[in-house]
Amino acid sequence: MDSTHEDNDTSPHSMRIASHGKISLLVDFALKFLKENPTRPLVLHTLPHKPDRETSGLLDPSAKKRKIEPSTTNVARLISVVEIIKREFKDDLLHQYNEIGCLHAPSSRAEGSGTRIPNQPGVERQAAFLPIQRTPYMKITLSRAALPESQALNATYQPPVAKKMSRGARKRSRRRTKNATVETNPDNAAEEDAENGADDDAMDVVPT
């Protein structure tokens, strides 16, 4: 995966989310890419490595259980990675575009020629139809700038949300600011501490 920065380059970069990849490594690469390529969107997806691969064997219509493809099972992993990226990316707010689709994979019976469909309806006629397996997948595009409509025709747009600091984060920020003030100007910091202490000790007088 290369995250080389090029000016005025708006081409998207695809990033496949697989079950064997470490989330921490995926997040680190995505954060680095978005930081170094402010004009390029990052497309995270669960599509298979070879989308045009042929399915092996015939689909058994009588099977009670069907194996779920990684393109579907990795959707939850994809969403988790995206939420971590959005939370940890500090340089800018990210625009999000979600796209859900299905891969249509006909069985190997489609390659057979001369399949005859009976004229009369019934079990034989239904069996002659080619079974098709549909595999859901998901794409999520993250971009530091809003994309034109031509690049997000089939996607739902999720606007960026301003990040709110938690109470603990605000407290730590005030503490860091106070420590910096003490180091640069200890006299003013002592006066502010004295004033704050006097305010805390003061009691409101309630008229009776």
Give residue-wise pLDDT tens across range 141-195.
999 999 998 888 889 999 998 877 667 767 777 888 888 877 776 666 556 555 5
Round the average pLDDT of the chain to a whole number and report it: 76
How high is the pLDDT of residue 178?
82
How high is the pLDDT of residue 161?
84
How high is the pLDDT of residue 140?
97
**Phi/psi at 9 (5° precision):** -90, 115
Answer yes or no: is pLDDT of 12 > 50. Answer: yes
Average of per-residue pLDDT across 11-36? 94
Contacts of residue 77, Cβ cutoff 8 Å, sequence gap at least 6: 17, 19, 23, 46
Average of per-residue pLDDT across 90-99? 94
How high is the pLDDT of residue 159?
94
Contacts of residue 65, Cβ cutoff 8 Å, sequence gap at least 6: none
Please state, for a pLDDT cut of 90, what percent of the chain lies above it: 38
How many other C-beta atoms are found inside a 10 Å radius of the C-beta of residue 186?
A: 10
Answer yes or no: is pLDDT of 64 > 60. Answer: no
How high is the pLDDT of residue 188?
61
Nearest-angstrom CA–CA distance, 12 and 10? 6
Cβ proximity of 29 and 3 under 8 Å:
yes
Average of per-residue pLDDT across 73-80? 95
Q: Which of 52-56, 57-61, 160-164, 190-194 has the highest mean pLDDT?
A: 160-164
Average of per-residue pLDDT across 93-100? 96
The enclosing H or E element of 116 equals: none
Give residue-wise pLDDT tens across range 99-142.
999 987 655 444 444 555 556 566 555 655 656 678 899 999 99
Q: Where are the alpha helices (DSSP H) in the chain?
A: 23-36, 70-73, 75-88, 123-128, 167-184, 186-201
Domain 13-54+67-162: CATH superfamily, name plus number? Alba-like domain (3.30.110.20)
